[in-house]
Chains A and B, each alone.
Chain A
Amino acid sequence: MQTLANPARFVGLANAVLPFVWVATIILFAIGLYGAIVTSPPDYQQGETVRIMFVHVPAAWLALMVYTVMALASAVAIVFRHPLADVAAKTAAPIGATFTFLALATGSLWGKPMWGAWWVWDARLTSMFVLFLLYIGYMAVWQAIDEPHRAALVARIVALVGFVNIPIVKFSVTWWNSLHQPASVFRIDGPTIAPSMLWPLLVMGLAYTLLFLALHLVSIRAEVTARKIRQMRLAEIGER
């Protein structure tokens, strides 16, 4: 980890890894979409509507995973003062917000034909909406405070306090009566989904994860460049 603390070294590693990550992402999306749209059968109750699962569930998984990455990066920034930890947390937020938005929107498109409503103030949906607001709030902190070190201090607190919501989202369907179905993949007694639907879902989940990795690496590289530009401009002002 200390080796990667050097931004130049990290950018070099990102440049080397990124082409492979992009290619793997495209291949996994192609396989996953083929399984989701062509080979997986319609559900005996939900019919073709079940295919929304293959874009909705991975988006929801990533919404939780990206916030966890943000909280971990913020903890690393506090404990180890890793120079790239705040950058990693900051750049993950817009990507996580997009996945959360997609989980909410595709969930709404799934809910209307199945539940008869676009939205209900159910524990799972509400906690997911709170997660979306946490992402927006976290990004607002970075936008509102000009000085990066001060912004980082506040953003770390927001990320860590907001992390309380992650187990609430995950276990909301167990703790409260919910219209939303309970977990059917990551369960102690194993998945309850038919293998013909499970493999495209897992491949799509992996494709979304690799897409996040690719976008995150590019975003971190861009943020390192942005900070270099800021330093050069400040140095220019200092020389005048």
Chain B
Amino acid sequence: MDFAAAHVSFVIGAYALSAIALVGLTIQVITRDRALKAELRRLEEHRR
């Protein structure tokens, strides 16, 4: 890829936006899953 070519900032912007959105979504999904698992463990221990 020629980084000096015309309109290259649009290409970088598209890849950066995609990376931010997809990595952000992945982190959000994994964090929610872990938080809910921890919450369930807490509730199960509390019941015992």
* Residue positions of A touching B, CB distance < 8 A: 37-38, 42, 47-49, 51-52, 55-56, 59, 94-95, 98, 101-102, 105-106, 109-110, 112-113, 211, 215, 218-219, 221-222, 225-226, 228-229, 232-233
A121 to B25, CA, bound (A): 28
Separation in Å of the B31 CB from the closest CB of chain A? 10
Query: How many B residues touch the partner, as a band?
Result: 20 to 34
Q: A47-B7, A48-B8, A229-B40 are in contact. Are A56 and B14 (CB under 8 A)?
A: yes
Nearest B residue to A47 by beta-carbon distance?
B5
B residues 18-48 in Cβ contact with A at 8 Å: 18, 21-22, 25-26, 29-30, 32-33, 36-37, 39-40, 43-44, 47
Q: What chain A residues lie within 8 Å of B2 (beta carbons)?
A: 42, 48
Q: What chain B residues lie within 8 Å of A49 (beta carbons)?
A: 7, 10-11
Closest 7 CB pairs of A and B: A113-B7, A222-B33, A225-B36, A48-B5, A106-B14, A55-B18, A52-B14
Q: A37-B1, A42-B5 are in contact. Are A113 and B10 (CB under 8 A)?
A: yes
